[in-house]
Amino acid sequence: METEDADVIAPETCPRTDGMPMLGLGTWENEDATQCAESVRTALETGYRHIDTAQAYGNEAAVGDGIAAADVDREDVFLATKIWISNLAHDDVLETARESLDRLGVDYLDLLYVHWPSRTYDAEETLAAFAELYNEGLIDNVGVSNFEPEQLEVAVDVCDAPIFANQVEFHPLLPQESVRETCDNLDVDVVGYSPLARGRIIDQPEIQSIAEKHDVTEAQVSLAWAREKDVTAIPKATSANHIADNWGSLTVDLDREDINTIDAIDETSRQVDPGFAPWN
């Protein structure tokens, strides 16, 4: 099947999980302020309603500019950012979260993540600060990112606010079965970053074959597969063409044979692997 023109795929076409649109725009390494703002504006006017950024990306102000420039109400945008590992002490969380709000030009965040369980992260102190922000109404949801099952179980146990989502690298070369199983058991949503394996999925023969079968792109196949796994994908895209192509994945329907073929890919490749990661 051919995907519809992205211009005619309404925002309502995008499924939601607990109110969160299951396809969003990632902004990692989108460091040129003008380009970043334009990509955010373009995405929102294409139909996206989920924008993801982080303190460490250095582009929160540009993301805010893009949201302000778009012909979309702030209340219709699910906006997420992340607290960096040097800012996870209790008081630093409270201070830098407000700084992020100022840079983004918004009064609240739909989702605020612990970026990594590392450096200044202390489960009880860090998450107590997140719960304070939640109780103050500055954030609608508490999230964690790059948490392994053990860290996630502790976070859910100690946080006085619900843990809404765990954002992890996720794509056909890193399906994260144990993380997804733990999230499912704990009623935590999974958000997948680098869902195209930083472009590597384009070269996978299995993905190529399925893309040809459906007359769609490899990126659309990978994003449709993520949706079948109940994972919210946030691919980075800067050009209008890539933004539209990813949005077009919403009309791609994979069959059981397609899913099984992708699941059977016998290759593992983690694209984001810093030394401070909890698995190292």
**pLDDT by 10-residue block (mean), the chain, 280 residues:** 59 96 96 96 97 98 98 97 98 98 98 98 98 98 98 98 98 97 98 96 96 97 98 97 97 97 94 96
Nearest to 30 by CA among 238, 247, 239, 272: 238
Q: How many C-beta atoms surround the C-beta of residue 6 within 10 A? A: 20
The residues, ordered by sequence, that sit 6+ positions from 199 with a Cβ below 8 Å of its Cβ are: none
pLDDT of residue 85: 98
pLDDT of residue 6: 53
In degrees rounded to 5, what are phi and psi of residue 3?
-75, 155
The residues, ordered by sequence, that sit 6+ positions from 38 with a Cβ below 8 Å of its Cβ are: 66
DSSP 162: -
The enclosing H or E element of 67 equals helix 60-69
As a whole number of angstroms, the distance between CA 103 and CA 74 comes to 15
The enclosing H or E element of 223 equals helix 218-228
CA angle 228, 234, 240 (to 5 degrees): 115
Model pTM score? 0.96
Nearest to 270 by CA among 279, 260, 259: 279
- The answer to whether the beta carbons of residues 116 and 107 sit under 8 Å apart is no
pLDDT of residue 164: 98
As a whole number of angstroms, the distance between CA 256 and CA 261 comes to 9
As a whole number of angstroms, the distance between CA 264 and CA 206 comes to 9
- The answer to whether the beta carbons of residues 27 and 265 sit under 8 Å apart is no
Nearest to 268 by CA among 190, 177, 189, 145: 177
Residues that are catalytic: 57
